[in-house]
């Protein structure tokens, strides 16, 4: 009886951790996409100061989430996203706003690609 309870407890723990991981991955990349779209809209409307503040916010948030993402699912794209955020910030400092808009598109594509790669989907399993 003890072995059955222990096995059931381990199964519940593994499934719970897997579900939690998937929720965290989807939320992290969905938030990044939404933030990059907001930065892009701010740049297009000419609110460069607001876009820079939002970029700093995204950079701070990504540092926190990156550690957990790298622990849960090592992936080079996660490191590349941090690099792209830095380039986005640098292009805004250099007042290269057209380049900043392009960098936002790259970040959105990278986030969507990473989310699709790391999410549990049957096409990824098979």
Ramachandran sector of residue 46 (left: φ over 0; alpha: ψ -120 to 50; beta: rest): left
Q: Is the pLDDT of residue 36 over 90?
A: yes
Q: Is the pLDDT of residue 9 over 60?
A: yes
Higher pLDDT residue, 74 or 58? 58
pLDDT of residue 90: 92
Euclidean distance between CA atoms 72 and 22, whole angstroms: 10
Contact 32, 104 (CB under 8 A): no
pTM of the entire predicted model: 0.81
Token representation of residue 7: 């096995």
pLDDT of residue 32: 92
Mean pLDDT of the chain: 87
DSSP code, position 126: -
Token representation of residue 46: 């000419």
Q: Is the pLDDT of residue 125 over 70?
A: no
DSSP code, position 119: S
Closest CA relative to residue 101, chosen from 32, 29, 59, 42 = 42
Percent pLDDT > 70 in the chain is 94
Question: CA angle, corner 79, sides to 74 and 110, nearest 5?
Answer: 95
């Amino acid at each position: 009886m003890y072995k059955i309870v222990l096995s059931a407890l381990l199964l519940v723990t593994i499934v719970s951790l897997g579900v939690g991981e998937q929720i965290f991955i989807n939320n992290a990349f969905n938030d990044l996409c939404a933030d990059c779209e907001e930065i892009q809209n701010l740049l297009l409307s000419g609110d460069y100061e607001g876009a820079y503040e939002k970029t700093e916010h995204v950079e701070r948030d990504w540092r926190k989430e990156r550690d957990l993402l790298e622990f849960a699912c090592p992936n080079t794209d996660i490191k590349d996203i941090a690099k792209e955020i830095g380039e986005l910030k640098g292009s805004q400092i250099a007042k290269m706003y057209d380049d900043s808009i392009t960098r936002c598109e790259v970040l959105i594509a990278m986030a969507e690609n990473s989310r699709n790669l790391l999410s549990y989907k049957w096409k990824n399993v098979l």
